[in-house]
Structure formats: C-alpha cells, structure tokens
Structure 1
Amino acid sequence: MKFKTTAALLFMTSSLFAQNKIDDATKRMNEIVQNGSLAQKNTLANELSLEAKTSKDANRLEVISNYLYQLGREESSDSLRSVIAKKYPKSLVARQEFVTNDFYKQKTAKDKENSYKKLLKKWPIPKTDEIKIAYDYLIANIANSYIEEGNKEKSLSYLNQLNERFWRAQGFIPVATTLLQQGDTLSAIPLIQTSIEDAEYFMNLPKDQQDNKAGFAAVGYPGYVSQLANIYSNQGKHKEVMTLLENAISKNPTFASRFSNTYFKALENAGRKLEALQQLEMIYKSGNFAFKTKMHELYTSLNGSDKGFEGYINRLDNEVIKYIQEHISQFAINQTMPNFELLNLKGEKVSLESLKGKTLILDFWATWCGPCIRSFPAMKAAQEMYANDNNVKFLFINTWERDKNYKENVASFISKNNYPFEVVYDDQKDPNNGKILAEKLGITGIPAKFIVDKDGIIRYKLTGSSSEIDYIKLEMKELIESAKKPISQHSLAKK
C-alpha cells in the first residue's frame, strides 16, 4: 500500500524522536483506534471525514489521513493524502508523495540524485526544523546506491551531507559494509569508528539530557564495535581488539555478552585462556552450543587433561535449562484464546475449533520483519522436534503485510525457503469490532508468539526473538511441555 511507505517516514519524523504532549482529543482517538468497538471506530471515522471536508490546516488533514488509515479506511486515507498534496503543494504530505512516486521509483544513483535535487528546490531542508531525518533517509539511500555502483567518492560525499548525528550511523554502516565486501577495508574503518564515537557521545550524555535520540544512537553500538573488532582480529591486531572491547564493556557492562564471540578469540590470542573459556561459557549459556569443541580444547589445556569435562558441560546444561525455566515464567498468562477462522496458503479454512485438543504454537510474523525471519530456522528446528506428536501444532500467522499482493509474496517466500510451515493469513476482520486477530490479542509488535493449551487457554505470550537455534529449541520445548500440564500444576505469573 502506498500509504505504508510514506507513513513510515512521517511517523519517524514526527513522533519517534519528538516528545509532544498528547491532548484529550488525541487520547480519545488513540483509545478508540486501539480498543474501540466497530461502532465507535465507524463513528470516529465519519467524524474525521466530515472534518476533512472543511479543514484548511494541512497538518491537521495529515493527522486525519493517518487516523483514517488506522481505522481501516485505507482508500479514504489515500484519497485525502492526494487531495492534500494537490491543495497544499508545499506541505509535508506533498513532499512525501514526491518521495514515494518519484525518488523511490528511480533505479540508478544518478537518477536518485537528480530526484533529490528537485525535491530540495521545492522543499529545502528547514533551518529551524530540529528533525531532519526525512532528508537523511534519502541522502543515505543515494550514498548506498553510489557505493553499490562502485562510486566511492560520490558515496562519501553524500554521507558528509547527513544532518542528524544520532542517526548518521544508519548511513555510514551500510556503506562501510559494502566497502568491506569490495575489499576496501581502509575506507570502511573510519566510517565504523565514527559510528562508534557518535553512539558513545550520546551514551555519555547526563541522564537528564538523554532522550529518544540518545536511545536510538545506542541501539547499534554493540554491532558497530563487533564489526570493528572483527576487522582488527582479521588483521592480527589483537591488542587493538582487546582495547576496543574492554572500553566498550566498561562503558556499558550489559553489552558484555554481545561481544563474547570476538572477545574470547582476543583473550585466547593474548594467552588469557581462563578468561577465554569464561567468555565461551557465556555464549554456551545463551543457548549457542557451537563452540563446545573449542571449550573442550581450552578446558583440556587449562587442566592438563579433559577429565571432568562432561560433568562440567552437564552443569552448564542444567544452568541453561534453569535459566530458561525462570525466564519463561515472566511470560506466563492465563487468558482465553479468541476464536478465529483464517485461510491458509491453499485457501483452506483453519479455525481454533478445528485445532481443539492440541497444544498450539502461534507465531505472528510478516515478510518485512527481520527478527521474524531470523527466527525461522530455529522455529523450523523446534517444529521438527514435535513432528511425530499429533497433539502439538505450529501455526505461522502472517499479519500486517504492506503490499496489496501480499498473499503471492508470502507463498513465494515460504516456497523459496522450503519452510514446512502451516501459514495462515491474518486478514479477516471480526464483524463485531473490526479487528484482525493480532489486534484482538493486543499485539503491538512482531514477532509475537503464543503458546495455547489443549483447552484454548493462552499459557505464554512472548515478543521479540532470538536467532540461536539451540536456545529456541530448548525454550520451545520448555514452553510446550509446560503448556501440556494442567494449570493447577503451575504458579502462573498472571491470573
């Protein structure tokens, strides 16, 4: 849908990094959008449509368009946006229409550059506007296109035009990654170093000065540090690796586990084998068992033999299980699963009633959701564990797709990746409240997973995901086996 593309930009620029006060009227509209009945939503949509006919405020009309979309009036929303763009050619809506219908239609870096120059003539970067992210998206896009075409000079020139320091790593890192792929490590390093410095600047601000910008800048910090550490490690600069990682850990100890893969190598190269083994323990406890051979090697070297290694590993295994059991307890709920009847890839109906008596694992996902997709290999492995258990059913519920031809895209994605998943489309609105299943369950972000017992009671709700196959297999096993037991045998977190 066209609106989705433009809305992402609008919401990012106007709400993610701004901290505006919400008035009573806005609170009312938000409440109706999120929890209102179908009648309330229709009433609000009609009120907004009437207001749109008389309002002469471009900003207010934009807000109305956004709410109409959220209320399920997609065509009215798109139509209003077209009216705004024509009636107010200098408005933000008109600018976003241009970005969607001109800039993002260009194929080459040069064509994108020309489109951007046309945009600047009509909508110059406002000098008084604190948030210039909308322009930085386009600048970074051009820079990335140029580097992919092999024009480093033009790419770096555009990177130097980025406006927002807290965001510019989002432009720097993709270009740096492409440079590394092209073998130009020398040019990539300064971009990664600057990204690290920018993140540290915002992380070091006094607490009373830290806002959404600071939080956003810090999100990618562990990844930037790890990327530079890997470069140094490949260059044999083990001292530089140690300095980089220990500085990062000292600034934020919670990041320590994120650096373990690189840190243990640096410690081993420095002859600090015990500390290297301790880092591998952290990795192992996170559910990644890929380094067991290296752990055996270090253990043997430190102890003179491998006597006791199996017991050592067994203790770690028990710690992992104990951690998972304690971890999943915070996701325990006791909630009736709403009824649903959705179509699968073959056009067949799949309902809650048809699955009665089975333990269900419901995985809400979308093709554009990176974390959703990263967890699929692990979810496939978890599903294979229960391949012979007819009382356990995995259901992958596709929701919140952005393209009109989403059904074809979803089917193609599943087929291309050979995922043996039962996929259903969450696109059927409840006639009583106009909500799709994700909305009825109160989902605000994906991936989201629900474990439902044989009696139709949701026992666990999880958001977010991990790409660690071993960990997810263990986690799913604990969740499923727990859900198989009667509720009376559990102390649920919520009643």
Structure 2
Amino acid sequence: MRKILIVALALSASLGYGQQKEMDKYEQYRPILENGSKIQKDSLANELLKRAKTTKNESELEFANNFLYRLGHQDSADSLRSVIAKKFPKSVTARGVYIQDVFYKQEDAKAKEKSYTHLIKNWPVDKSASDNVDYDYVIASVAKSFADEGNKERALYYLDQMNERFWRAQGYIPVATKLLEQGDTVAAIPLIQKAVEDAEYYINLPKEQKDNKAGFAALGYPGYVSQLAEIYDAQGKQTEALQLIERAIALAPEQAARFSSSYFKGLEAADRKLEALQQLELIYRQGEFAHKDKMTELYTTLNGSVKGLAAYFSRLDQEVVKGIRDHIKEMETFKPAPAFELLNMSGEKVSLANLKGKVLVLDFWATWCQPCIRSFPGMQAAQEMYKDDEDVQFLFINTWERDKNYKDKVAAFIEKNKYPFEVLFDDQKDEETGEIMAGKYGVQGIPAKFIIDKEGNIRYFLTGSSPNVDYIKMEMKELIETAKKPHKG
C-alpha cells in the first residue's frame, strides 16, 4: 500500500504542480488510459519506455514512470523508477525509492530513526514544497515504533516534527491509542485534542478555501471526537464529553449519526433521557442492536410501563429494512458479469462459468485495506446465514496486493482469523485487455462487492462497507434474496 500512496502522490504532484507540458501530455494520453484497448495501452507504454531511454529530463522520466503505473505496467515502472533514482540521486523519485526499499524494511524504532536521519540528510525537508506528507508517513512510523516499545519521550519528540497539519492526526492517533493501552491517559489526551483541533480548523475554513486536504483532515473528525468523549466519560467528565459532542454535531451535522454512540451516554448522564433514547434509535436504524436492553429501559422509564414496547421495536425493525431497501436500490444494475477463472488458496481453478446457476457474492479486498478487514466479521456472519443454501456462493477476491509473498500473507491472515472464506487470487491478466479481474469489473476502490444472479448478470455493485455485523447480515440478505428473483427489467 505504501508504494501505491507514494505513486499516487507523485502523480498528483506531476499533474497538479508540474509544468504545463506534463499536463498536456496527460490530457493527450488520458483517452487511452481510460478507454484504450490492450494493444493501444501496450503501444503507449512502449513509446514511453523508448522516450525514457533517450531523455535526460528528470520530469519527463518521472511522468513516464507514473503513467506506466497507471497503464498497469508495474514491472516496467519499477525498473524505470530505479533508473531515475540512479540518474538523479537527489530527486523525489530517489527519495521515494529509499523510503520504500530501505526505511520501510526497518523493524525496530532505533533502526527506523537511523534511516530517517539518513533520509533528511540526503533529502532535506523543504517547507515550501507540496509533498512533505511523504516525510510525515515516515515520521509517524518512527513515532509509532517508539510508542510500541514504550519510549514515550521519543515518540512525542517525533510527532512534533510532522510537517502537514491536514495529515498529522494520522500520526497522533495511533500513538495516542498505544499510550492509552499502556495506561498513560495524561500523555494521550493532548494528542487526541490536537487531532480534534486540526480537524475543526479545516471544517471551519470558508467554503472557497476548502480543498482535498481539508476534506481529508475532516474525515476522521467523528472518530477523534468519539475517542476523546469516551475518555472524558471514563474520567467522570460527562459535562465535558457532552459539550464536545454537541459542538461536533453543530460543526458537522452531516456526520451526526457517527456521534450517536457517545452522544447518548452524555445525554443519559445529563438526565436527558428522551434525547438519549432518540440517539439509540438512530443507532438501531443503522442495524446495530447491541443497545436494545438500554432502549427498553429508557422506553419503560419514559412511558411508565412496557406497554407498546413490542410495537415500538416492530416499527423500528420495519424502518431498518426500509432503509436498507432504499439504500440498495441506488446500487441496482443489470449487465453480464465479466468472465473470470482464478486460483483459490489450494491452487484449484474457480470460474464464473462453473458457478452458473448460483447467486454469487464477490467481495474484492486486500490485506492492507482496513475497511475490508472491518467488514469481515459481518461478511462471515452473512456467509454463515447461507451455509446450507446450495444456491448461494461467497467468493473473496484478493486483489491489489503488492508484496511478492502476498499469497503466503493472505493465507496467514485467513488462518489467523479462522475465516471460512473461499479466497481467490486476482493476479491473472486478461489476454485481450491486460486487466486483472478488478479492472474488468470496474473496481476503483475496495472493499467492492458484486451480487451476481444465477444467469451470470451483475444485479448490485457496492463500494465501501459498514463494520456493523447486524447491518451487513440484513443488507446481504436483501441483496441475495432479490438477486434470486427474476429481473423485472
């Protein structure tokens, strides 16, 4: 994943901040990138490689390198990347090669610290540059390693070296979480508070000043607020927790549902029982039923008896199902599923053709994809729900792995977590398009799920996933049962 991030950032820098010449090239080549045939893509790749052999211009080489990645020619791009690093040892590419091939292979904090020292000595930080987040990835890694080893002072020292305000919470929060695990709440709280303050800074920017960085900084805001509120609750500071959450809801009302779990605790502590119950209702409607006993308690207190309780929950259950049906309706499609034939972890071939007559659930995932991993308990529960249904098959398509030993890594992950999944490796390129299965299916991000009916047609395409086990079970049931029925056209 680190390589993907580095390449993406380099391409962004090349296109966003580079010369107009590179921008013009990108626009010239983009039709081939997006809609070209394999022959056209291969021809363009060969042209880029041919030019790369003769040019002495660093920016042209970096452009060729980045575009080769986009065309799916990873091996050629990797080779060219090494050439650039040798020709231009002080270049951004050389720095990226060092970070990827040297720094990230260090296993302990001291070794990482030594590698980081070498990095900034040979590629000093330019405060005016647009790509200093590359350094922050490294600094955050050093800080986390020191925190893991119990060296709080060095961890905090490195966190103070971070460059990009929009990203630094990504360094603060893992260290803060480790400090909390070690029982050091005093050191953890300021880090989480800084993460909250940084997010609020970007949320409060005028609309015309908000960009992708601002959006990224605000993305983790609900999580930071909830983590800090939970600490305040544990310390008996319910008033502070409630004030924190209500300010957060006022700032980011579109994220209100993500605060509900912490919000109801503060409301209950403040004896605002009706509002507390309303927050639990929001959680319930998302398919999370863990608070049903608390809801029963609040309902009984507010109503003076359990009269009407069954009807109350029945109404909520109907709302949950309606919400899911409305949600999945937006994901409806109807088109033939591209054929595939992939190997499973036992080396056996599994193909779409051999599975015709079954409803298929395809789940594209990778070991580095945290949203994918967080959805797996729910997907396991959904698969268990259909274990006796011979007309339904779940397939977990492992894709976009970058480690050379990815098969061993995947097998170890599945075994460690005891997931009873049929895992297929998405590493077979189509002879005509040169695409792996994810590309043929139009996957742009993972997790991505496809529901295929018995006739081999894609009926639903989902991106992202809830970590909520109950919600995933209900959602999968609606998707699968609908896919079992003939398409209405």
Q: Which interval holds the TM-score relative to the shorter structure?
A: over 0.9
Equivalence for 1:46: 46
- Cα deviation 1:18-63 (Å, max 9, x = unaligned): 8457734313433323332111111011101110111112222122
SS at match of 1:89: coil
Equivalence for 2:135: 135
Q: Which moved more, 1:88-97 or 1:222-231?
A: 88-97
- Cα deviation 1:449-473 (Å, max 9, x = unaligned): 1111111111110000011111111
* Whole-Å separation in 2 of the counterparts to 1:251 and 1:70: 38
Report how far residue 9 of structure 1 moved.
2.1
CA RMSD in angstroms, aligned pairs only: 1.8
Match of 1:199, as an amino acid?
A: A
Match of 1:15, as an amino acid?
A: S
Equivalence for 2:5: 8
Q: Residues 107 and 426 (structure 1 numbering): CA distance in 2 closer, same or farther, change over 3 Å?
A: closer
* Whole-Å separation in 1 of the counterparts to 2:188 and 2:483: 49
Equivalence for 1:32: 32
In the TM superposition, 1:43-442 aligns within 5 A as 43-442=43-442
Report how far residue 17 of structure 1 moved.
11
Report how far residue 180 of structure 1 moved.
1.0
- Cα deviation 1:290-309 (Å, max 9, x = unaligned): 11111111111111111111
Equivalence for 1:478: 478
* Whole-Å separation in 1 of the counterparts to 2:73 and 2:300: 66
Please tell me whether residue 468 in structure 1 is matched to residue 449 in structure 2: no
Q: Which moved more, 1:196-205 or 1:343-352?
A: 343-352
Q: How many residues align?
A: 486
TM-score if structure 1 supplies the norm length? 0.94
Report how far residue 100 of structure 1 moved.
2.4
* Whole-Å separation in 1 of the counterparts to 2:396 and 2:3: 28
* Whole-Å separation in 1 of the counterparts to 2:260 and 2:13: 31
* Whole-Å separation in 1 of the counterparts to 2:14 and 2:314: 47
Q: Which moved more, 1:280-289 or 1:293-302?
A: 293-302
SS at match of 2:393: strand
TM-score if structure 2 supplies the norm length? 0.96
SS at match of 2:363: strand
Match of 1:461, as an amino acid?
A: F
* Whole-Å separation in 2 of the counterparts to 1:285 and 1:408: 40
Unaligned runs of 5+ in 2: none
Q: Which moved more, 1:119-128 or 1:261-270?
A: 119-128
* Whole-Å separation in 2 of the counterparts to 1:415 and 1:261: 32
* Whole-Å separation in 2 of the counterparts to 1:438 and 1:10: 19
* Whole-Å separation in 1 of the counterparts to 2:253 and 2:331: 25
- The answer as to whether partners of 1:16 and 1:212 remain within 8 angstroms in 2 is no
Identity, in percent, stands at 60
- The answer as to whether partners of 2:367 and 2:410 remain within 8 angstroms in 1 is yes
Match of 1:103, as an amino acid?
A: F
- The answer as to whether partners of 1:176 and 1:188 remain within 8 angstroms in 2 is yes
* Whole-Å separation in 2 of the counterparts to 1:415 and 1:363: 18
Report how far residue 287 of structure 1 moved.
0.4
- The answer as to whether partners of 1:13 and 1:133 remain within 8 angstroms in 2 is no
Report how far residue 7 of structure 1 moved.
4.5
Match of 1:254, as an amino acid?
A: E
Q: Which moved more, 1:412-421 or 1:222-231?
A: 412-421
- The answer as to whether partners of 1:13 and 1:134 remain within 8 angstroms in 2 is no
- Cα deviation 1:329-370 (Å, max 9, x = unaligned): 000011111111111111111111111111111111111111
- The answer as to whether partners of 2:13 and 2:130 remain within 8 angstroms in 1 is no
- The answer as to whether partners of 1:17 and 1:212 remain within 8 angstroms in 2 is no
Q: Residues 169 and 152 (structure 1 numbering): CA distance in 2 closer, same or farther, change over 3 Å?
A: same
SS at match of 2:84: helix
* Whole-Å separation in 2 of the counterparts to 1:17 and 1:208: 24
Report how far residue 151 of structure 1 moved.
1.9
Q: Residues 63 and 430 (structure 1 numbering): CA distance in 2 closer, same or farther, change over 3 Å?
A: same
Report how far residue 246 of structure 1 moved.
0.5
Q: Residues 350 and 107 (structure 1 numbering): CA distance in 2 closer, same or farther, change over 3 Å?
A: closer
Equivalence for 1:493: none
Report how far residue 103 of structure 1 moved.
2.0
* Whole-Å separation in 2 of the counterparts to 1:127 and 1:238: 41
- The answer as to whether partners of 2:15 and 2:23 remain within 8 angstroms in 1 is no
Match of 1:398, as an amino acid?
A: N
Q: Which moved more, 1:101-110 or 1:234-243?
A: 101-110
SS at match of 1:183: coil
- The answer as to whether partners of 1:367 and 1:373 remain within 8 angstroms in 2 is yes
- Cα deviation 1:147-190 (Å, max 9, x = unaligned): 22222222212111111111111111111111111111111111
- Cα deviation 1:231-260 (Å, max 9, x = unaligned): 000011111111101010011111211111
* Whole-Å separation in 2 of the counterparts to 1:35 and 1:406: 29
SS at match of 1:357: coil
Unaligned runs of 5+ in 1: 491-495
SS at match of 2:64: helix
* Whole-Å separation in 2 of the counterparts to 1:405 and 1:482: 39
Q: Residues 214 and 338 (structure 1 numbering): CA distance in 2 closer, same or farther, change over 3 Å?
A: same
* Whole-Å separation in 2 of the counterparts to 1:311 and 1:390: 35
Q: Which moved more, 1:8-17 or 1:280-289?
A: 8-17
Q: Which moved more, 1:356-365 or 1:140-149?
A: 140-149
* Whole-Å separation in 2 of the counterparts to 1:111 and 1:400: 29
* Whole-Å separation in 1 of the counterparts to 2:328 and 2:75: 42
Q: Residues 132 and 14 (structure 1 numbering): CA distance in 2 closer, same or farther, change over 3 Å?
A: farther
